[in-house]
Amino acid sequence: MSLHLGDIIDGKYKILRLIGEGGMGVVYEGENVRIHRRVAIKILHTTVARSEDAVQRFEREAQAAGRIGSDHIVEVLDLGELPGGDRYMVMEFLEGQSLAERIETAGALSPQKSATIMVGMLEGLRAAHDAGIVHRDLKPDNVFLLNNRGGQADFVKILDFGISKFSKLGGEFSMTQTGAVMGTPYYLSPEQAKGERQVDALSDLYSAGVILWESVSGKVPFDGETFNELLFKIVLEPVPDLATLKPALDPHFISLVHKAMARDRQLRFQSAADMQAALLKWLDGQPLSSHVLADAQAARVTRPSVTSSSDLALGATATVQNTGGNWANTKVARGEGKSSKKWLAVAGLGLLTAAGVGMLVRSNAIDEERALVHARAEQQLAEKAAEERARQETERTRAETERAQAERARLEAEQHEAEAQLSAVEHARREAEQKKEASVAPAPRPRPAARPRPAAPATPAPRPATAAPTSAGRTIRTDL
């Protein structure tokens, strides 16, 4: 059925604009005209809607979202059928971008940002696993980052549970056939790549590790020129050391990524809650537990455990049969457009190689190597623990010395202050005594007045000289 802008579906959903279109169908922005709520409307193409498997996958997506009931899972509001036979699904309208778009536009993200996004994704994944639902197709395209939700930027929503596996409430249900594998090849777990039936929550955690790897590096850990080459790398090659590609990354963060991507299922995080707790611990700056570091170290070098060549060949065959088209679509989306027929042809030629490689893997040698790896990892952890204890002891001694010096300085300051106070008190006491002595001392005697001295007798004035009588006419001086 051809829809146009302004058309109303089931009398309540108005088509506003086209958001995107693909091989499976189209997605529109719409509005529930009854309650005036913005919604997203996904419609399967008529040709696809004729496929029973596609319809079941479509309906499973709606059922999974309803059963999980988490804020980190996209909410499905309605499901229905158009008059022309097209199936439609109504979901909450999301404003933001996918993690794949973020990486493509912004490049590699910081470990802190990647870990924060992963914590939100694992919250939704934990709810799904608790409900008995395994996503099985986790990838950056299915991790949507809302612009804002309750004041939180980059709020995570997980999309597309269309190929999810249900294992509770009515028995196990798988959308794929026995031995078949579905999912985007770059993010497949080793058990998915081999076509094993044991695809459970631990497979989702492996895919989460691949997403973390790509978020901080901008690349996927495994790639290949052919579909079959990619599968063999996932199944047979050790996980590349992220430190080689990004040497500046925190080694503990790298350990978290490698533990999530461990080929040995027992070395991975055993639940979404465990992985989420480890990431939160790292974000808080707390040291990781020794077993996390040991498992990560072992995961880097553990060789694959393939019991027989037929297992790998069967897995490759099932994967080729069920994901050849998906692989081709993925390569086209990444700008490497090559037809799915070429991948199928080359994959068929690789089956003999798979058989030959499987024959070379011996389980006993793997067990011995794994034990050796664990022993080396434990020795390294013990050495690091001893170094850490020595460092902590040195830090403790230094801290105690600094505290002792600070205490001595404080006591000296208090002593100086006490001496100053004592000196001030002594000075005040002396001043008080001086004032007291001054107040009780006798008044000084007044000096007697000086008696006037008698005046000196006046010196008689010299008498004038008189001439002595002369005789015979001579004058005699008498003043001699």
The per-residue DSSP string of 355-394 comes to: HHHHHH--HHHHHHHHHHHHHHHHHHHHHHHHHHHHHHHH
Question: Is it true that 8-92 and 98-361 share their CATH fold?
Answer: no
Determine the topology of domain 8-92 in CATH: Phosphorylase Kinase; domain 1 (3.30.200)
State the Cα–Cα distance between residues 454 and 425, nearest whole angstrom. 60
What local confidence, expressed as pLDDT, does residue 461 receive?
A: 60
What local confidence, expressed as pLDDT, does residue 224 receive?
A: 86
> Which DSSP string corresponds to 134-185?
E-----GGGEEEES-BTTBTTEEEE---TT-EE-SSSS-B-SS-TT---S-G
In the chain, count of helices (H) and strands (E)? 15, 13
What local confidence, expressed as pLDDT, does residue 440 receive?
A: 72
In CATH terms, 98-361 corresponds, of 2.60.40.10, 1.10.510.10, 3.40.50.2020, 3.10.20.740, to 1.10.510.10
State the Cα–Cα distance between residues 337 and 409, nearest whole angstrom. 75
Neighbours of 396 (CB within 10 A): 10
State the Cα–Cα distance between residues 476 and 480, nearest whole angstrom. 10
Q: Residue 234 is which amino acid?
A: I
Q: Express each pLDDT in 239-273 by its tens digit.
A: 999 999 999 999 999 999 999 999 999 999 999 99
State the Cα–Cα distance between residues 176 and 322, nearest whole angstrom. 9
Q: What is the DSSP letter of 38?
A: E
Domain boundary assignment for the chain: 8-92, 98-361
Active site residues: 137
What local confidence, expressed as pLDDT, does residue 163 receive?
A: 57
pTM: 0.63
State the Cα–Cα distance between residues 436 and 431, nearest whole angstrom. 9
Longest dimension (CA), the chain: 200
Number of residues that make up the chain? 480
pLDDT per residue, tens digit, the chain (480 aa), is 678 899 999 999 999 999 888 767 889 999 999 999 999 999 887 777 777 777 877 887 777 777 788 899 988 899 888 887 788 989 999 999 999 999 999 999 999 999 999 999 999 999 999 988 888 889 999 999 999 898 889 999 998 876 555 444 334 333 344 344 455 789 999 998 888 777 889 999 999 999 999 999 999 999 988 888 888 899 999 899 999 999 999 999 999 999 999 999 999 999 999 999 999 999 999 888 877 887 777 777 655 554 444 444 444 444 444 443 444 444 434 444 444 444 444 444 444 444 444 444 444 444 555 556 556 666 767 777 777 788 888 888 888 888 889 988 999 998 888 889 888 988 988 888 888 888 776 666 666 666 666 666 656 666 655 555 554 555 555 554
